[in-house]
């Protein structure tokens, strides 16, 4: 449930997605036979329902935040486009992945992103959808998608840097 809410930003819509997934599972919409793990199977169905819900959301309320403009990161660079403050390496990032607190910090950083930006990031990096699929679902161009993903990655990096790696 939390998983769906994180991606849909709307508890009611997330609840619907989870219910639809369970109903679909009960109705045998996709076949469990031969799958090793019940959770994996259910999560797979849920992913489809989440994408359906995102598609509906994006039709119902087109999002102004998807305007392409990445000037928001201009402050990170000098006039010639060099880092004002170059990124340092993160210490033991692999270790962080094993920590619940780190994943909680990541969730908070995702929640701090503009809604649609976070959704696009999750569709790409979490659900692992192809860029062409995402463009089709959200009816945006590839160029536009790259701008959004660049923005999401830059913002998440900054957020994790100040909330975790350089705490």
Partner 1 sequence: MMRLSCKETTRLLSQGEDRKLSFGERAALRLHLAICDGCRNLKAQFKFLRLAAKKLSQEEGEDEPT
Q: Which stretch binds partner 1 (CB under 8 A): 9-17, 18-26, 57-65, 152-160?
A: 152-160
Contacts of 117 (CB under 8 A, 6+ apart): 65, 66, 148, 151, 152, 155
Identify the three-state secondary structure at position 88: coil
Angle between helices 131-138 and 38-60 (to 10 degrees): 40
Contact between 43 and partner 1 by CB under 8 A: the answer reads yes
Q: Which stretch binds partner 1 (CB under 8 A): 9-17, 19-27, 60-68, 103-111?
A: 103-111
Tokens of 70: 């990445």
Contact call for residues 109 and 160 (beta carbons, < 8 A): yes
Contact between 38 and partner 1 by CB under 8 A: the answer reads yes
Contact between 89 and partner 1 by CB under 8 A: the answer reads yes
Residues in contact with partner 1 by the rule CB under 8 A: 2-3, 6, 38-39, 43, 70, 73, 76-77, 80-83, 86-90, 93, 96-97, 100, 102-103, 106-107, 121-122, 124-126, 128, 131, 142, 145-146, 149-150, 153-154, 156-157, 160
């Amino acid at each position: 449930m939390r998983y769906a809410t994180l991606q849909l930003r709307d508890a009611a819509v997330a609840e619907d997605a989870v219910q639809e997934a369970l109903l679909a599972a009960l109705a045998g919409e996709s076949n469990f036979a031969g799958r090793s793990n019940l959770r994996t199977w259910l999560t797979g169905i849920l992913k489809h329902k989440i994408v359906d819900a995102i598609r509906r959301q994006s039709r119902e309320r087109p999002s102004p935040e998807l305007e392409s403009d990445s000037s928001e990161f201009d402050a990170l660079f000098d006039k010639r486009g060099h880092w004002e403050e170059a990124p340092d390496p993160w210490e033991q990032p692999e270790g962080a992945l094993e920590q619940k607190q780190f994943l909680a910090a990541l969730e908070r950083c995702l929640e701090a992103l503009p809604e649609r930006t976070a959704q696009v990031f999750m569709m790409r990096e979490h659900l692992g959808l192809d860029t062409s699929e995402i463009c089709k679902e959200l009816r945006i161009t590839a160029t536009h998608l790259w701008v959004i993903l660049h923005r999401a990655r830059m913002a998440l990096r900054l957020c994790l840097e100040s909330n975790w790696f350089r705490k």
